[in-house]
C-alpha cells in the first residue's frame, strides 16, 4: 500500500511538472514578436531571452552574428538609429517560420526614404531562436541606397575626416559616427 501511494505521488508530481513546463512554452509567433519588440523597445534583455546562446544570423554569405555577444554588438549599432520593426506576416514553413519584416530607422530613411521590407526564415529550437536567414528583399532600392551611402562617405572623408570609417564595422562607436555624418550632411544639402 505504501509503495502504491509513493508511485501515485510521483505520478502526480510528474504530471504537474509536465503541465508547468508546457505552459512556460510560448508560440513561435509570440517568440518572434517578442524578439523584434525588444529592438523596438531598445531592450537587449528581452532580445536575449528569445535567442539561444549560439544564434546564427545570415544574409547571403554575410554572417551578422554567431553568439549573443555578437548580437549585442549589432544591437548597440542598430539602436543608435532608433529602429522600428513591424512584423507584416509570420507563417509556418517546413523548417521554421517565414517572416516578413518592415524596418525603418534614421539611417534607412536617409539612404532610401522608405522602410526596407524583407523576408527572413527563423528556426526555433527548444523555444529559442537559433537561426535567422534573410532570404529576400521585397522593398529595397539598392541603387539609391548605394548612391546616397557613397555620396555621404566621400563628403564625410573630405569635410569631416574624424568621422571617416563609419562603414568599416557595425559597432556603437561607428554607428554614432555614421549618425553624426548623416546629420552634418543633411544640414548642408
pLDDT digits 0-9 by tens, 79-114: 999 999 999 999 999 889 999 999 999 999 999 999
CB-based contacts of 32-39 (< 8 A; 24+ apart in sequence): 32/87, 32/90, 32/97, 32/99, 32/122, 32/129, 33/87, 33/90, 35/129, 36/85, 36/87, 36/101, 37/85, 39/75, 39/78, 39/79, 39/83, 39/85
Q: What's the predicted TM-score (pTM) here?
A: 0.82
CATH of 24-140 given 3.40.50.300, 1.10.1200.10, 3.10.450.50, 1.20.1260.10: 3.10.450.50
Domain ranges of the chain: 24-140
Q: What is the pLDDT of residues 55-81, one digit of tens each?
A: 988 888 888 878 899 899 999 999 999
Amino acid at each position: 500500500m505504501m509503495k502504491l501511494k509513493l508511485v501515485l505521488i510521483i505520478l502526480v508530481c510528474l504530471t504537474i511538472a509536465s503541465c508547468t513546463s508546457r505552459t512556460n512554452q510560448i508560440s513561435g509567433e509570440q517568440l518572434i514578436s517578442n524578439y523584434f519588440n525588444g529592438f523596438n523597445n531598445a531592450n537587449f534583455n528581452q532580445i536575449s531571452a528569445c535567442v539561444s546562446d549560439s544564434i546564427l544570423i545570415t544574409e547571403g554569405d554575410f554572417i551578422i552574428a554567431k553568439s549573443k555577444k555578437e548580437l549585442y554588438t549589432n544591437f548597440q549599432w542598430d539602436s543608435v538609429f532608433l529602429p522600428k520593426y513591424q512584423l507584416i506576416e509570420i507563417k509556418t514553413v517546413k523548417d521554421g517560420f517565414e517572416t516578413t519584416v518592415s524596418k525603418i530607422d534614421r539611417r534607412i530613411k536617409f539612404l532610401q526614404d522608405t522602410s526596407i521590407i524583407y523576408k527572413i526564415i527563423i528556426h526555433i529550437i527548444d523555444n529559442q531562436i537559433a537561426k535567422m536567414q534573410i532570404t529576400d528583399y521585397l522593398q529595397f532600392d539598392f541603387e539609391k541606397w548605394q548612391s546616397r551611402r557613397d555620396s555621404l562617405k566621400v563628403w564625410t572623408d573630405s569635410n569631416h575626416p574624424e568621422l571617416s570609417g563609419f562603414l568599416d564595422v557595425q559597432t556603437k562607436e561607428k554607428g554614432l559616427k555614421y549618425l553624426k555624418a548623416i546629420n552634418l550632411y543633411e544640414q548642408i544639402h
